Amino acid sequence: MSYTLPNLNYAYEALEPHFDKETMTIHHTRHHQGYVNNLNAAVEGTDAENETLETILKNISKHSTAVRNNGGGHYNHSLFWETLSPTGKTTPDGLLAEEINKVFGNLDELKDQIKQAGLGQFGSGWAWLIVKYNGTLAVVATANQDNPLMDTNIANQGYPILGVDVWEHAYYLKYQNKRADYLDAFWSVLDWNVVEKKYAEALGKLK
């Protein structure tokens, strides 16, 4: 299996003023492309070459550090791009909205918990909204390019349905050291329609 860089459904400048064109271009064509290239090199000639990326990540403890870092980088960024849109749905509804209200109280509290997870991640990493294997929602953070699918995250495993990249390369050109401002801006370009779809897919995998 050869991995490829996914195309974006919008132009690099489409998310301005929240996410700037230069950052988006570099983030997608250099950082993400680098993970793709390195992942292909890391799995070549191994058993992982014939496994899906999700299967690899769920059993990441069996694989090399290169597969872990670059497989996570490819998966995480692919989800990140997919959930962004210049014209996305601004609030969730239906089953996802009901579960958010049940677990977090309201949408604002969920946003605050994700912001705190992102701010609390020392150094590089991600803040996530996940569907845990018991079907409930949770906010978690992971370091570097790890994610909640990985069997190394035993306490916080689940299916990611929303992820915020808090590596400096995701925001530094525009926001410098103001990670909080970047995390606030994220909600202006998130498409809840995609998150709802990911939520339904995750619930389907638990059946």
Domains annotated on the chain, with CATH:
20-207 (3.55.40.20)
Backbone φ, ψ for residue 161 (5° rounding): -120, -10
| Rounded-to-10 torsion of CA 136, 141, 143, 147 | 30
Dig out the tokens for 22 from the structure: 């230069």
At CA 120, angle to CA 161 and CA 93, rounded to 5? Answer: 30
Q: Please return the burial class of 91, using the count of CB atoms within 10 Å of its CB with bins 0-12, 13-18 and 19+.
A: exposed
At residue 129, the 3 state secondary structure works out as: strand
At residue 163, the 3 state secondary structure works out as: strand
Kindly report the pTM of this predicted structure: 0.96
| Count of beta carbons in the 10 Å neighbourhood of residue 26 | 15
User: Cβ neighbours of residue 8 under 8 Å, at least 6 residues apart?
Assistant: 28, 81
- pLDDT by residue for the chain (207 residues), tens digit each? 699 999 999 999 999 999 999 999 999 999 999 999 999 999 999 989 989 999 999 999 999 999 999 999 999 999 999 999 999 999 999 999 999 999 999 999 999 999 999 999 999 999 999 999 999 999 999 999 999 999 998 888 999 999 999 999 999 999 999 999 999 999 999 999 999 999 999 999 998
Q: Residue 195: which of 67, 102, 95 has the closest Cα?
A: 95
Over residues 91-142, the pLDDT tens digits come to 999 999 999 999 999 999 999 999 999 999 999 999 999 999 999 999 999 9
The 3-class SS string of 136-195 reads CEEEEEEECCCCCCCCCCHHHCEEEEEEEECCHHHCHHHHCCCHHHHHHHHCCCECHHHH
CA distance 72 to 70: 5
User: Cβ neighbours of residue 79 under 8 Å, at least 6 residues apart?
Assistant: 160, 162, 163, 198
Dig out the tokens for 203 from the structure: 């619930």
Do you know the residue count of the chain?
Answer: 207
